[in-house]
Structure 1
Amino acid sequence: MWEWRNIYRGLLMGASDVVPGVSGGTIAVVLGIYDRLIEAINGFFSKEWKRHLKFLLPLGIGVVLAVGLMANLIEWLFEHYPGPTQFFFLGLIIGVLPYLAHKADMKHKFKGQHYLLLLIGAALVASMAFFQASESDPMQNLTLTGYVLLFFSGWIASSAMILPGISGSFILLIIGVYTTVTSGISDFRIDIIAVVGAGIVCGIIVMSKIVKFFLENYTSGTFAVIIGLVIGSVFVIFPGVPKSDVLMIVSVVAFLAGLLAAWLLGRVEYK
């Protein structure tokens, strides 16, 4: 059976991937489909590819629609209301932590080494807040070197996307190709879309195999790292204390809306 419900899930994941600092992998965790996503990507290259295609295709449609239709909205929100928008995503991410802790059965399965892995994961992502990521002008008149850079940028960014807590868009910002990629999508530059897309597909395939191996063989340790990555992303997204009372109120409301969204998604997805 085709899982057309995945279109709306893909919309949420795609919209989040546009935002530097927010990970599509985190949203997959929020939606409760992270394990299945990893399984489906790996299973697509097996004899049961048709079954996994019914999961992945609707999800992919949602992601593509979100990137194409919602990128401008997300960029507008970050341009005009950056603080409240980040507080919303902050609430969304914090809201999923209780579910993660429950799924990992932290009370009974976590030992000292697992909490150490959690701290390492959190520190790894939190340290990204200190990277100087700045906008650069879109690359013009691309050469072979430019296309190679875009391919491997897509590869690295997509590897990050599939890990909760690590933002693929933020990786593109650090590399210095974020505006080249986003403007290429907005202007429908087939060459840029094709090269970056090929890198993204390769990165997702390779990273999903790595994650699948660790989920199957080191389940508790992998969940510890995932929880740490999600916690660390809070430090990356946190925009600082609002400077005015009005902005403080709006930010608090946005944060609570994010928590509510996580709770509602939990009611829908985990029942």
Structure 2
Amino acid sequence: MQWRNLYRGFFMGISDLIPGVSGGTIAFILGIYDELLASISGFFSRNWKKQIGFLLPLGIGIVVALLSLSRVIEYLLENHHVPTQFFFLGLIIGVIPFIAKQADAKKNFKAGHILLIVVIGVLLASTAFIKPLDSTPITELTSSNAIGLFFAGWAGSMAMLLPGISGSFVLLLLGVYSTAIGALSNLNLPIIAVIGAGVIVGFIVSSKVISFLLSNFTYVTFAAIIGLIIGSIVVIFPGIPTGGASIIISIVTFVAGFIVAKLFSSPNKTSIG
């Protein structure tokens, strides 16, 4: 068992609670993105037993974070929104040089790759101006809303694996985020189970697709990932802080996030592709 994946899963679980912050980005920061995709894909094959040692501790860490910190994250976003978002901005910006180095961008990126980065970055950034669906949190599961919650979980999990796209933000756009957070906070097991089933299906599909793209279109995929991460900066940017104390705290949290990203993004980590 790779028990160090407990803390890695914990960090990924925290990120998946924040609209705009991608669990895939955190996996990149922690240097386990390629192994994560391979393990998820391999778990649903004949060699599934080989993947348990990697995925089980990671999954435990994610679940512990989701269950233990959902209310903490709610509190931070409601009462200290700007500094919290600046911490994750630091994380995201800090990982970009690492991913560019993984791709050896100076050598391998051509004009087409740069254009792809710009186009994808602009497309994702534009979602910041999309008004999320207004939705009253669902507390009672019915046959009709179960289908919608399942597919929302599917869409959210596919986003979770893509660096730069937040599963929580997708749920927010679909009007399901408050339902998911409420279910986690209050341990509403039927709703958690339905959304969770969608998440599992999404993981299966998206892990295979992303692995295929990284293997066969490596540098195009890297360019797309960088574009997604750059675009996510606009999505989670909370605006310029007001007041001296808020500005100082936001600078401190931003620097802290940037330092955390640099510490975990070791240049000696295995490259992808």
Which residue of 2 is the match for residue 143 of structure 1? 142
Structure 2 CA distance for aligned equivalents of residues 185 and 140 of structure 1: 11
Which residue of 2 is the match for residue 84 of structure 1? 83
Identity of aligned pairs, percent?
A: 52
Does 1:219 pair with 2:218?
A: yes
Structure 2 CA distance for aligned equivalents of residues 78 and 224 of structure 1: 31
Structure 2 CA distance for aligned equivalents of residues 264 and 72 of structure 1: 28
TM-score scaled to structure 1, two decimals? 0.96
Structure 2 CA distance for aligned equivalents of residues 263 and 52 of structure 1: 28
Structure 2 CA distance for aligned equivalents of residues 81 and 88 of structure 1: 11
**Alpha-carbon offset, residue 63 of structure 1:** 0.4
Which residue of 1 is the match for residue 194 of structure 2? 195
Which residue of 2 is the match for residue 185 of structure 1? 184
5+ unaligned residues in a row in structure 1: which ranges? none
Which residue of 2 is the match for residue 234 of structure 1? 233
**Alpha-carbon offset, residue 186 of structure 1:** 1.7
Which segment drifts farther, 120-129 or 203-212? Answer: 120-129
Corresponding residue SS for 1:70: helix
Which residue of 2 is the match for residue 74 of structure 1? 73
Q: Is the 8 A contact 2:10 2:64 kept in 1?
A: yes
Does 1:128 pair with 2:138?
A: no
Q: Is the 8 A contact 1:133 1:170 kept in 2?
A: no
TM-score scaled to structure 2, two decimals? 0.95
Q: Is the 8 A contact 1:88 1:255 kept in 2?
A: yes
Which residue of 1 is the match for residue 207 of structure 2? 208
Q: 1:70 to 1:50 in 2, by over 3 A?
A: same
Q: Which amino acid aligns with 2:71?
A: N
Which residue of 2 is the match for residue 255 of structure 1? 254
5+ unaligned residues in a row in structure 2: which ranges? none
What are the superposed Cα offsets for residues 116-158 of structure 1, whole Å, 9 maximum, x if unpaired?
2211221222111111126632124432110001000101111
Trace 1:148-159 onto structure 2 (pairs within 5 A): 148-159=147-158
Q: Which amino acid aligns with 1:198?
A: A
Structure 1 CA distance for aligned equivalents of residues 110 and 26 of structure 2: 27
Structure 1 CA distance for aligned equivalents of residues 149 and 52 of structure 2: 27
**Alpha-carbon offset, residue 269 of structure 1:** 7.6
Q: Is the 8 A contact 1:41 1:56 kept in 2?
A: yes
Kindly tell me the number of residue pairs found equivalent between the two proteins: 270
Does 1:160 pair with 2:166?
A: no
**Alpha-carbon offset, residue 91 of structure 1:** 0.4
Q: Which amino acid aligns with 1:41?
A: I
Q: Which amino acid aligns with 1:26?
A: T
Q: Is the 8 A contact 1:20 1:167 kept in 2?
A: yes
Q: Is the 8 A contact 2:139 2:188 kept in 1?
A: no
Q: Which amino acid aligns with 1:147?
A: A
